[in-house]
Amino acid sequence: MIRIAIDAMGGDFAPVEIVKGAVEGAKEYNVALQLVGDEEQIKFELAKYDINGLDIQITHTDEVIEMGESPTKALRQKKKASIVLSVDSVAKGESQAVVAAGSTGAAMASSLFGLGRLQGIHRPAICATLPSKKKHIVLVDAGANTDSEPKNLYQSAIMGRVFAQEVLGYENPTVGLMNIGEEAGKGNALAKETFAILENKKEELNFIGNIEGRDVLVGDCHVIVCDGFVGNVILKVVEGTAVVLFDLIREQFMSSPFAKILGGLCKPLFGNIKKKMDYSEYGGALLLGVKGITVISHGSSKAHAIKNAVRVAKEAVDKDINGKIVKGL
Amino acid sequence: MIRIAIDAMGGDFAPVEIVKGAVEGAKEYNVALQLVGDEEQIKFELAKYDINGLDIQITHTDEVIEMGESPTKALRQKKKASIVLSVDSVAKGESQAVVAAGSTGAAMASSLFGLGRLQGIHRPAICATLPSKKKHIVLVDAGANTDSEPKNLYQSAIMGRVFAQEVLGYENPTVGLMNIGEEAGKGNALAKETFAILENKKEELNFIGNIEGRDVLVGDCHVIVCDGFVGNVILKVVEGTAVVLFDLIREQFMSSPFAKILGGLCKPLFGNIKKKMDYSEYGGALLLGVKGITVISHGSSKAHAIKNAVRVAKEAVDKDINGKIVKGL
């Protein structure tokens, strides 16, 4: 049985929502858990649920890396931080994957140091799942490498494709390069050089060429490749634009008594859209390229997101995506 | 009287909407026009309007740079292209500004070659206006320099601030650096070095530090500074996200007969939001840093956008923003 290590202290709603989601995930996806954090708090949360028949172990620690801390500094000082011990459990082979909703930087750094890189991988990348008008799509790198080289983006394309095939279920996912124009020869030096490499592997990668910012949510490009700085900006601009638009809609529906009534009647329709755009449906982003599976969940994850993160972690292990990445290189 | 040169052949709806918008702008903002393009077509369009009392000159040419063409190659081959002659009119001092809705690359290249750089400016930058939850904001560079250096971003901050003050009317606009985290020390090499420069001029620039993708449309940061690759991606991701969300909303309102009725009733509310988010309200982006004023309008601009582009061009000339940029350096 697969065991998943969960940083029970990471995220805005830890440990309450983390433990709840972990228990739900363990039940639904039939996995064992390694909950890492304050034992007393974890036990208090576990007591709320029927955990009969579940295989749950606890690793106690009272060190936690907070969101504002410098990851590298914190890792040096807090050798027993919950995220460090979670990763450690995978490094020792006691667990097969980590789910972390705390500091992304700390999850990344501890995974990189604790697990090491996959054979042949120059740098790990964050593989984020995004909603689109059609099915879910993949954005890679969503923030691991802020100064990337063309070879990093090429490896991101391979890793993103394996993820899109194995976890999102695309048979032959399309790969596109994020750029500022569709034609070859567009973009900065990184984009131009990467284009040449990807074009060279056109068939293997199902490379469809450059795509632009306005294509992201259309959903025809299944794996969007870019460097970590641009990817992180995209992720947050999409999120921010959606939040502001929904705020503006809410304002309109509060603008008069009649509008309020309309708003009430429209609620189920907007509920459908919000569900489609909801990040918690896909649980978290995968840090790909390390020797192990690390799922990085949104800091504001509630139980539903953590449950789905457990599913993603389990699928990544079950489908041996790391083996397939190494084979694909 | 200020004369504005307009590439009458540039854009998806040229010359029909361009000429219409130009005439509306000339009337409303009391400017003279230099319409550049096919004389017969321009005269045919002008005949539709009462242009009595307007000062309109036509420069005939039958060369046009199309959207798909390589700007540098096209400029070499089409020495009499409408955009080239429009810029030329400013270079000769016959007009004081250009409005162009055709190929952005061609407008940029012809302005740079035809007008030259402002004294002290290393590289011109595109200064785009964006809607936000509050007032309009500025994104600079929105696509001129794809491989920027810290000094370029510093100059963008200065140019963006002058634009925000003089054209958008902010008294002391805030400047933020687009980054992937709020804390100092975050980001890629470019962001880190630029942060140090901007922090050093904190008071002068009213620098508020790093901002993230999700802050763009919130509207508290009035001038967002980034390199041209990232800026262009942001611009298009915002646009694309809004388009997809409105598509999803439309789908929901078509999902049942009752939803259709609701959709009809909600139309005015969504009209208010669309108006708030409508790029045509601010006419176009300014290419700042060249010796002259070039307003680059969206390729799909209709008359309303062109009319507003005329207003932006006139204000940029009236307020002498180039003089203020040179003074600010």
pLDDT tens, residue by residue, B176-232: 999 998 888 889 999 999 999 999 999 999 999 999 999 999 999 999 999 999 999
| Chain A residues inside the 8 Å CB shell of B250 | none
Q: What are phi and psi of B217, to 5 degrees?
A: -85, 0
**A228 lies within 8 A of chain B by CB:** yes
Q: Using a CB–CB cutoff of 8 Å, tell me whether A143 touches chain B.
A: yes
- Going through B101-136 in order, the beta strands assigned E by DSSP cover 125-130
Omega before A15 within 30 of 0, i.e. cis? yes
State phi, psi for B57 to the nearest 5 degrees. -110, 155
**pLDDT reported for residue A22:** 98
Nearest one of B230, B211, B233 to B221, comparing CA atoms: B211
Tokens coding B217: 């449309």
Size of the A and B interface in Cβ pairs below 8 Å: 164
Which residue do the tokens 């009319």 mark? Answer: B307
pLDDT in tens, A53-93: 999 999 999 999 988 788 888 989 999 999 999 999 999 99
Q: Are A219 and A132 in contact (CB under 8 A)?
A: yes
CATH 2.70.98.30 fits domain B1-116+290-323:
no
Backbone angles phi, psi at A143, to 5 degrees: 145, 10
Residue among A180, A236, A243 whose CB faces B146 most closely: A180
| Residue spans in chain A of domains classed CATH 3.40.718.10 | 1-121+289-320, 122-284
Q: Do A232 and B180 touch (CB under 8 A)?
A: yes
Residue A125: DSSP 8-state: E
Name every residue whose Cβ is closer than 8 Å to that of residue B112 and which is 6 or more positions away in sequence: B124, B290
CA–CA distance, B276 with B35 (Å, rounded to integer): 30
Query: Quick check: B77 contacting A, CB < 8 Å?
Result: no
B239, A234 Cβ separation under 8 angstroms: no
Residue A72 forms contact with B (CB below 8 Å): no
Tens digit of each residue's pLDDT, chain A (329 residues):
999 999 999 999 999 999 999 999 999 999 999 999 999 999 999 999 999 999 999 999 999 998 878 888 898 999 999 999 999 999 999 999 999 999 999 999 999 999 999 999 999 999 999 999 999 999 999 999 999 999 999 999 999 999 999 999 999 999 999 999 888 888 999 999 999 999 999 999 999 999 999 999 999 999 999 999 999 999 999 999 999 999 999 999 999 999 999 999 999 999 988 888 887 788 899 999 999 999 999 988 999 999 999 999 999 999 999 999 999 88
**Where in chain B do CATH 3.40.718.10 domains reside?**
1-116+290-323, 122-283
Closest chain A residue to the Cα of B254, Cα to Cα: A269
User: pLDDT tens digit string along B253-280?
Assistant: 999 999 999 999 999 999 988 888 887 7
Q: Domain A1-121+289-320 falls in which CATH fold?
A: Isopropylmalate Dehydrogenase (3.40.718)
C-alpha B162, offset from chain centre: 15
- CATH code of the domain made up of A122-284: 3.40.718.10
Architecture of domain B122-283: 3-Layer(aba) Sandwich (3.40)
- Asked if the Cβ–Cβ distance from B180 to A216 is below 8 Å, we say no
CA distance B293 to B287: 7
Spatial separation of the C-alpha atoms in residues A105 and A125, rounded to whole Å? 12
Amino acid A281: pLDDT:
80
Phi, psi angles (nearest 5°) of residue A139: -120, 120
For residue B169, the one-letter residue type is G
B165 vs chain A: nearest CA distance in angstroms?
24
Name the pTM for this structure.
0.94
Lateral strand order in the sheet of B285-288: B56-60, B32-37, B3-7, B97-100, B293-296, B285-288, B125-130, B137-140, B223-225, B175-178, B207-211
Q: What is the residue-level pLDDT of chain B in tens, covering all 329 positions?
A: 999 999 999 999 999 999 999 999 999 999 999 999 999 999 999 999 999 999 999 999 999 998 878 888 898 999 999 999 999 999 999 999 999 999 999 999 999 999 999 999 999 999 999 999 999 999 999 999 999 999 999 999 999 999 999 999 999 999 999 999 888 888 999 999 999 999 999 999 999 999 999 999 999 999 999 999 999 999 999 999 999 999 999 999 999 999 999 999 999 999 988 888 887 788 899 999 999 999 999 888 999 999 999 999 999 999 999 999 999 88
Contact flag A228-B133 (C-beta cutoff 8 Å): no
- B248, A273: Cβ pair inside 8 Å? yes
Closest of B104, B157, B139 to residue B289, by C-alpha: B157
* Alpha-carbon distance A247 to nearest alpha carbon in chain B (angstroms): 8
The pLDDT, as a whole number, for residue A277 is: 82
Q: What is the pLDDT of residue A168?
A: 92
Searching chain A, which residue's CA lies closest to the CA of residue B142?
Answer: A180
Q: At CA A240, angle to CA A215 and CA B213, rounded to 5?
A: 80
Chain B residues with CB under 8 Å of A237 CB are 213-214, 216, 234, 237-238, 241
The token pair that represents A213 in the structure block: 């910012």
Q: Please tell me which residue of chain B has the smallest CA distance to A215.
A: B240
